[in-house]
Structure 1
Amino acid sequence: MGLLAEFEIDCEVLPFVAVLETVPDATIEVEMQLNHGDTPLFFAYVTADEQDAVERAFDAVSFVGEYTLIGEAGGTRRYQVVPRVSMEAHMGGVVDDLGGLRALAGAEAIIDHIEVTRTGWVQAGWFADHDALDEFRTFWQANGGFTLRRLTRSGEPEPPGDGLTDPQREALRTAYELGYFEVPRRASLERVADELDIGASAASERIRRAQTHLVETTVASTWPPLPE
């Protein structure tokens, strides 16, 4: 039976981490397509108060070659990103075991979620067995840092957790503590954004996405479909 795991990777040279150094209020989630030879294709979902600042960061960082805006919804833009160099070439100055890095692409695992942080990535996905997960654990413990957040067997109930990202959870908690959800409201969106040290549109997007996720995974899943 397979495993479902979520873990933090501590490695500041991972793609897009440098973008957050320039635009710290941004939220970036990425998908990788590994069927493009040595250089994977990325799709980046970026939420930021100043999207132009994100594109300037794309222009400045060494990893990003070409990028194309392919969609926008609310405060989130979706970019297709073609790297300038391979992962190995980009990370070779920090990661010693480049063969091990290449081997992870062939591991019996499917990574279906990557969140970029200021110190690396948070990854979540499916692993065929403990050996497959240990490939990731062993490599990143030797080449940066690895912290397991959550582990369950496929088909078993997940341990307590809400499935929110850390920025989403922080935004909800801050908004709640300041009285943003009270009637009448005791705090404005701008007040919440100031407390989070991000822009108002970024704060609004985080709260909206967090609320949508909680509704979808709790009450919405128990409702019958609406009549057409």
Structure 2
Amino acid sequence: MLIATFSLPHDAIALEHAFRELPEMKVEAERIAAHSRAWVMPCMWAANAEFDRTDEVLEADPSVDDVVEGYEFADEKYYQLDWAEHVDERIDAYIDQRGSVLDAEADKDGWQIRIRFIDREQFDAFRHALDEQGTDFELRDLTEPGAPRQTFGELTPDQRDAIVLARKRGYFEVPRRTTIREIAAEMDISHQALSERLRRGLTSLVDATLTTPGDAVEE
């Protein structure tokens, strides 16, 4: 058995319109079932948004067929949703690979979902299905009982954005196609702040993927 955490864009699951209109919103899906489409992610908690506006945006989102009900609390609101047919089809595609969705949450950067697979073959089939659909995804974490944990992307969102943009702009190429000041200007931060994000982010990646607890930093 393997448990994998994937980062997926909004259009790979749902709520692309909602997050475009409410980038500050955060949602956490609840009561996720593995083998019944009717009960996959029907309920979610929404936070960091003005709830009257959230109601309007969810009702206008093409991925939501109907907002069945909602209950507002102090700083969160609980929604039960009927997803549009194309969302059901996406969920079906994931279930067809025999992946059991364990939990899911989303913010302006996309969805993060945790899925359980029976074996490596099913895990590979799921990734292949994403590739065939042209879905841009990132494997963030992979756990196999009885084997060491593999973690991917132990970064803050700001650190990840800085590293990805630097890569896209050719900062790591030889010779470099851009400068740290140009990237910082594009991100609207100081070059010192960008340098710190890159340093801390790359350190986290090295610690997560290349070192072991016994590897000490030389003084």
Determine the structure 2 residue equivalent to 1:154.
145
Q: One-letter code of the match for 2:43?
A: F
| Pair 1:138–1:41, CA change in 2 (3 A) | same
What's the CA shift for 1:153?
0.7
* Matches for 1:162-201 after TM superposition, within 5 Å: none
What's the CA shift for 1:88?
6.1
What's the CA shift for 1:79?
0.8
What's the CA shift for 1:138?
0.9
What's the CA shift for 1:35?
2.5
Determine the structure 2 residue equivalent to 1:114.
104
Determine the structure 2 residue equivalent to 1:178.
none
| Pair 1:35–1:56, CA change in 2 (3 A) | same
Is the contact between residue 64 and residue 84 of structure 1 (CA under 8 Å) also seen in structure 2? yes
Instruction: Spell out, residue by residue over 1:132-171, the C-alpha distance to the aligned partner (whole angstroms, 9 max, x if none).
Output: 111221111232112111112125564569x99959xxxx
Give SS of 1:52's match: helix
What's the CA shift for 1:52?
1.4
CA RMSD of aligned residues (A): 3.6
Is the contact between residue 104 and residue 135 of structure 1 (CA under 8 Å) also seen in structure 2? no
Q: TM-score, normalised by structure 1?
A: 0.56
What's the CA shift for 1:36?
4.9
- Higher relative CO (Cα under 8 Å, sequence separation at least 6) belongs to 1
Q: Quick one: distance in 2 between partners of 1:164 and 1:46?
A: 24
Is the contact between residue 20 and residue 26 of structure 1 (CA under 8 Å) also seen in structure 2? yes
Total equivalences in the alignment: 158
* Matches for 1:24-173 after TM superposition, within 5 Å: 24-31=23-30, 32-33=32-33, 35-36=36-37, 42-87=42-87, 102-118=92-108, 120-143=110-133, 144-156=135-147, 158-159=149-150
Question: Which segment drifts farther, 111-120 or 21-30?
Answer: 111-120
Give SS of 1:141's match: helix
Q: One-letter code of the match for 1:146?
A: F
Instruction: Spell out, residue by residue over 1:204-227, the C-alpha distance to the aligned partner (whole angstroms, 9 max, x if none).
Output: xxxxxxxxxxxxxxxxxxxxxxxx
Q: Quick one: distance in 2 between partners of 1:74 and 1:110?
A: 32
Give SS of 2:24's match: coil
Is the contact between residue 9 and residue 147 of structure 1 (CA under 8 Å) also seen in structure 2? yes
What's the CA shift for 1:20?
0.9
State the percentage of identical aligned residues: 20
Instruction: Spell out, residue by residue over 1:36-68, the C-alpha distance to the aligned partner (whole angstroms, 9 max, x if none).
Output: 56x956212111231111111012112212223
Q: Quick one: distance in 1 between partners of 2:37 and 2:130?
A: 23
Give SS of 1:67's match: strand
Determine the structure 2 residue equivalent to 1:7.
6
Q: Quick one: distance in 1 between partners of 2:42 and 2:13?
A: 13
| Pair 1:134–1:160, CA change in 2 (3 A) | closer
Is the contact between residue 23 and residue 107 of structure 2 (CA under 8 Å) also seen in structure 1? no
Q: Quick one: distance in 2 between partners of 1:51 and 1:105?
A: 32
